[in-house]
Structures are given as C-alpha cells and as structure tokens.
C-alpha cells in the first residue's frame, strides 16, 4: 500500500496491461527537493521522503537511531530507497543502517521498495552495500520477479549480471520470464530475459504453465511472438489441465492478439508434423529432414525457372500456356505452405538469385557464345568471376557484427548501471544483444544481432550490409549490372545473327513477336536479365548517392529523425565531408596521394568526432511522488 504507485497498481491488477508512457517514464534521477525555507518542522521520516539532508543529519546527530522502525516496522532506509534519496541512503548506510531490514505490510526490504519503483541508482547503491536480491517478500517474490512484473528492464539485466539466476522461481514457481509475459505487453524485459538464457520450458507449481502459457492467457501478442520466434518456445508442453500452447492458440487463430507470424507458425507446426510423418515413412529416416527441406527450398527456384521457360517455349496455344503457368504457381504455393517455414522462406530471394545466374551461364554457353566474339565471352566470364567474389563476401562475410561474450555482457551492464539509468537508453544500449551500442550501429531484427555502421538487411544475399561488407556489396551490385548488361547485349547479338532480327528496321511490337518466335528460352532469360539490370542499377545509383553526397547509410537516411546527432546538425550527416572525400573514405582509396581517407573502426566507435555531443534518443519526464 505504501509503495505501490500508479504503475504498480496497474501491473498488480493481473493480466497483461499496456503500461502507458507516464509509467515507463519513471527514471532513477533523484527528485528535486521542494522549495522549503524552514525544514525545522519536518520529522525525520518526512525529511527523508523530501530529501532534506540537512534536517536528517541534524536529527541523526542528536541521537536518533537510524534503525528505528515506525508503527508499520518500516525503517528510514526504506523511505530513502523508495524515494531514491541516494545521498541520504549513503548517510544511513554509513551510520550502520540494516540494508536487509524487513518491514511494511509485505515484509519487504529497502531493495524491494527501490525495485518496485524502478530506481536503478538506489538498487545499485544497496547492492554495493551488501543487500541480498534473492530475499522474498510476503508474496513470495524476490527483487528480479518484481523488476519483471513492473517492466523495469534495466533492473532485470542488472540483477542477472550480479549473479541472480534468470530462472529463479518465486514461492509459486513463477520465473521472471513468466511474470514478464503475464504482466508486461512491451517487448522488454521478455526479449532481454531470453537473451540472458531464461528457460522457456520451465513450468510453475500451481498450474503447470510455461511462460508461453502465461503469455497466451494474458493475450500478450508481443510476448507470444517473441517466445515463439526468438525463443523457439515449445508449442507442445501440456499444463496440469492437459492444454498445450498449440491447442490454446489454435482456438484463437484470426483474433487480433494472435499475430500473423504466430498464426503462420501454428499452421506450420500442424502441417510440418504431417509432412514429417509422411517423409519419415517415405525415406525411413535415411536423410535428415531439415537438410532435405533446406535443399528443396534452394532447389525450387532452379526447377521453377526451367519449367516456366519450357512452358513458354512449347508449341501450344497461348491460353494453354497461361493455364499451365497458373498451375505451376498453385502447386509451388501449396508446396511452400506445406514444407517450408519462415526461416526457409527467408532463403527464397537468395535461391532465386542463384537460380537466375545459373541459367544465365547455361544460356550463354549453349546459345549466345557461338554467336558472339571470343573477347565478349572472355569479358563476360571475367566480370562474373569478380561478381562471385563480391557476392560471397557479401553473403558469407562478416558485416561487422558487434561481438560479445556472457562475461562482457555482464560487465557492460554493471558498468552502465553504475553510471546511471542514461546508460540504458536505446541509443547507447541494445537490450536484445546486451551490448553497448557503437555509433551508427543497429540491431537487425532478422539476424538478431547488432551490426556496426548498419546499412540494411539484404534478402538477396541473406545477410546484413554493414561496416565490413558494404564495399563488397557495392562491388556486387556493380558487377551484377555489368553481367546483366552483357546478357542483354549477347541476346541481341544472338537474335541478329541467328534470327536476322534488327530492332532498328522493325517496329517495337513486331520485334517482340519475332523474338518470341525465334527462340523463346533466350527471350525468357534476357527478360530476366533486363529486369535485373533496371532495378539493380537504380539500387546502385541510390547507394552511391547516399555514400558520396549524403554521407549516410540507408538506415540513417530513413530514420535520421530518430538520431540526435542528425537533428542537431539540421538533418545533415556529421560524418559527411565532400563527395569525393566521402568516396575516398568509403573505399579507402588514396588515388596516388590525392586523398587522405579517414579510417575508423565502427565496431568500437561510441562518440562523435566533430564536437556534437551525443544525447539519448528518448527523453523521459520526471514522474515522482513522495511516499
């Protein structure tokens, strides 16, 4: 009663509630002392609550016992902790205050009180003074359970970094992850607990529910999606009533709180189980099913590309061709629904690219090479060799991942916590990777990792584009434009030499008709090459413009309003110099001494070089009440 503010009352009501901005704007700065010219009328409790340090010191010096309890067995350290009076807390501790004193209606310690209010500074101070975070209050909750219930992500991270188990169970068997899924609708601290290794398979003592059960009962769509997609939570664990998450979710498909990704996973789990049973009987477990599905996903575009070419080339009526193409689409669509999950579908753009390039090579060797000069073919294969080098570097190379270890994560959390709550701002700390975020980095939700100088996640290379592979990505685009251009040129030479078609002598539509009648396969392949040429060339121009003229990444250009260093610089990049200097910096080119490129390790760069002070992205409002 004494220490439940508006946020606490909302969270303790049961079920998942969307905490409003005012609740989450609570931070650990010490509230201002009210303007009061005469503190002499304050008793020691009121002086502690309002932060009147001089009055507190005066009363203690006159002999007041620092461990004296009031009628509700509450100590002065409790009152200082709940109001985040750090100076007074230090004074009380120096005077011998009992840091683990139990008091109040819930038999809680000062650490419990500070945790409920989300006062990180007070928690750090008490922990450094020897407070025990594993003590339980009258409700059976330790501090990490309270932090999870109230959505205090920084406190959850700090407790785990100080060796509190992320799977610590309260008196009823509830873990912090279960409480977060039941009480908090925002992404964190659920995501943070999963990153810290919290188990998704533990069950509580009373109902046998997992964290996923609790998220479903609370209709917490964010927690459900995070547990299933990021945490790979099992859908098949029954509770004491025999209900599994799969059965509970299956009854609610189509409702708003069951997101589309979760609905797809439910359908996939049902279909995959059927497909697995069929494949097991068919193959008798001689081939690992996951590997088979992976190869099927990669191979499908190769086969579909060839089948479409055969249909277009067939000597049948156009209406029949259209019918066959529709049939191919329907078959491929339903096979994909049955056999492929989201992770395999994510490989589709990459496999389409590989399939297209393979048929480019085959078409060049079989049809075009005999109709062009040897030099043209030599240039085609030479440029495609460079294309493969840049592609493999973009695909398999390190984009600039911020590498960390469990020990380094904990050390970073403790360091940021002891510096104050500002260290956990989204601009400086990634709650998914638990790392100090370098300048210009971003967490990729697809790869689930932080990438230095993040540009974008490219599905065509199935990798992020960042500080370490951006140059290779530009090389990949350039070589791909050249290859597609050569493919179109080779097709034109093929039609001229073999079919005697000349676009300059015939009309546009007549030329297209002649091409389709001459060799439809070459027309099909060259059409793909032409489309690739157009959109890849536009992407290349956009990338070069951003690098040279703007000095920005794609992410920065799209989200520059979110970054203070761009806002403070009138929307311009503080990293930009002149266009030529920007290109020299990007490619590391000196041009025989004409340029002096600036090199920087973006994986370890945390501050700006131009004197623009980096500020937190999100500014909180003060929201204190004196209790």
Please state at what angle helix 520-545 crosses helix 508-518, rounded to 10 degrees: 120
**DSSP secondary structure letter of residue 242:** S
Catalytic one of 458, 464, 479, 484: 458
Q: Lowest mean pLDDT of 109-113, 118-122, 415-419, 553-557, name the range.
A: 415-419
pLDDT in tens, 482-530: 999 999 999 988 888 877 766 556 666 676 777 767 788 998 999 999 9
- Cβ atoms of 239 and 213 closer than 8 Å: yes
- What pLDDT was estimated at residue 506? 61
- Would you list the DSSP string of 117-129? HT-HHHHHHHHHT
Residue 28 above 90 pLDDT? no
CA 432 vs CA 184, 224, 390, 436, 438: distances in Å: 16, 16, 30, 11, 14
Backbone phi, psi, residue 509, to 5°: -70, -35
d(Cα 377, Cα 366) in Å, to the nearest integer? 12
Average pLDDT value for residue range 285-296: 64
pLDDT in tens, 316-363: 888 998 999 999 999 988 877 777 766 777 888 999 999 999 999 999
- What pLDDT was estimated at residue 210? 97
d(Cα 148, Cα 168) in Å, to the nearest integer? 12
pLDDT in tens, 369-392: 998 899 999 999 998 999 999 999
pLDDT in tens, 575-619: 998 899 999 989 888 776 677 778 888 988 888 764 434 443 333
- What pLDDT was estimated at residue 286? 42
CA 314 to chain centre: 47
Q: How many CB atoms lie within 10 A of CB 572?
A: 13
Residue 133 above 90 pLDDT? yes
Known catalytic membership, residue 23: no
pLDDT band for 269, please (50, 70, 90 cuts). low
Q: Lowest mean pLDDT of 93-102, 241-250, 284-293, name the range.
A: 284-293
Average pLDDT, the chain: 84
How many Cα atoms within 13 Å fall on the side-chain side of residue 579?
6
Please state at what angle helix 86-94 crosses helix 120-128, rounded to 10 degrees: 20
pLDDT in tens, 31-90: 555 555 567 888 999 999 999 999 999 999 998 999 999 888 999 999 999 999 999 999
Query: Domain-by-domain residue ranges, the chain?
Result: 287-368
- What pLDDT was estimated at residue 283? 43
Average pLDDT value for residue range 285-307: 77
Q: Lowest mean pLDDT of 187-196, 257-266, 477-486, 573-582, name the range.
A: 257-266
pTM reported for the whole predicted model = 0.77
Residues 6+ apart with CB under 8 A from 69: 75, 101, 103
């Amino acid at each position: 009663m004494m220490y439940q503010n508006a946020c606490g009352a909302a969270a303790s009501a049961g079920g998942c509630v969307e905490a409003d901005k005012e609740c989450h704007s609570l931070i650990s700065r010490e509230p201002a002392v009210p303007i009061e010219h005469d503190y002499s009328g304050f008793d020691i409790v009121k002086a502690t609550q309002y932060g009147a340090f001089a009055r507190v010191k005066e009363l203690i010096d006159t002999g007041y016992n620092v461990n004296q309890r009031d009628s509700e067995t509450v100590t002065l350290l409790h009152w200082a902790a709940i109001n985040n009076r750090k100076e007074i807390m230090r004074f009380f501790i120096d005077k011998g205050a009992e840091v683990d004193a139990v008091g109040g209606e819930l038999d809680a310690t000062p650490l419990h009180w500070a945790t409920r209010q989300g006062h990180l500074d007070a928690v750090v101070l008490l922990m450094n003074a020897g407070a025990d975070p594993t003590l339980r209050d009258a409700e059976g909750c330790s501090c990490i359970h309270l932090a999870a219930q109230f959505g205090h992500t920084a406190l959850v991270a700090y407790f785990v970094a100080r060796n509190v188990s992320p799977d610590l169970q309260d008196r009823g068997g509830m873990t912090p992850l279960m409480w977060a899924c039941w009480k908090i609708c925002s992404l964190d601290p659920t995501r943070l607990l999963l990153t810290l290794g919290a188990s998704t398979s533990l069950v509580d003592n009373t109902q046998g529910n997992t964290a996923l059960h609790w998220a479903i009962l609370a209709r917490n769509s964010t927690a459900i999606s995070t547990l299933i997609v990021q945490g790979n939570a099992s859908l098949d664990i029954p509770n004491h009533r025999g209900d599994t998450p799969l059965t509970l979710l299956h009854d609610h498909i189509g409702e708003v709180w069951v997101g589309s990704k979760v609905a797809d996973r439910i359908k996939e789990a049902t279909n995959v189980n059927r497909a697995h049973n069929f494949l097991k009987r068919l193959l008798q477990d001689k081939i690992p099913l996951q590997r088979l599905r992976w190869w099927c996903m990669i191979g499908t575009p190769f086969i579909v590309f060839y089948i479409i070419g055969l249909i277009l080339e067939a000597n049948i009526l156009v209406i029949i061709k259209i019918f066959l193409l529709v049939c191919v689409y329907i078959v491929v669509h339903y096979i994909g629904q049955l056999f492929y999950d989201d992770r395999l579908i994510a490989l589709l753009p990459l496999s389409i690219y590989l399939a297209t390039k393979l048929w480019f090579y085959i078409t060049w060797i079989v049809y075009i090479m005999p109709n062009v000069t040897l030099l043209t073919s030599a240039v085609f294969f030479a440029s495609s060799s460079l294309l493969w080098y840049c592609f493999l570097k973009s695909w398999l190379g390190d984009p600039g991942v911020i590498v960390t270890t469990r020990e380094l994560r904990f050390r970073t959390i403790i360091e940021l916590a002891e510096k104050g709550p500002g260290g956990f701002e989204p601009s400086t700390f990634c709650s998914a990777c638990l790392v100090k975020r370098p300048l210009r980095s971003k967490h990729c939700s697809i790869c689930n990792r932080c990438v230095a100088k993040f540009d974008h996640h490219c599905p065509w290379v199935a990798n992020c584009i960042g500080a370490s592979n951006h140059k290779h990505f530009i090389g990949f685009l350039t070589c791909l434009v050249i290859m597609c251009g050569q493919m179109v040129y080779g097709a034109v030479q093929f039609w001229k030499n073999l079919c005697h078609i000349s676009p300059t002598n015939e009309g546009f539509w007549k030329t297209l008709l002649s091409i389709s009648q001459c060799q439809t396969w070459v027309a099909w392949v060259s059409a793909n090459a032409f489309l690739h040429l157009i959109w890849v060339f536009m992407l290349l121009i956009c990338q070069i413009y951003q690098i040279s003229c703007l000095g920005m990444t794609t992410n920065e250009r799209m989200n520059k309003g979110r970054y203070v260093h761009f806002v403070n610089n009138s929307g311009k990049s503080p990293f930009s110099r002149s266009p030529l200097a920007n290109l020299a910096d990007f490619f590391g080119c000196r041009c025989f001494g004409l340029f002096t490129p600036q090199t920087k390790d973006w994986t370890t760069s945390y501050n700006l070089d131009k004197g623009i002070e980096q500020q937190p992205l999100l500014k909180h409002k003060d929201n204190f009440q004196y209790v």
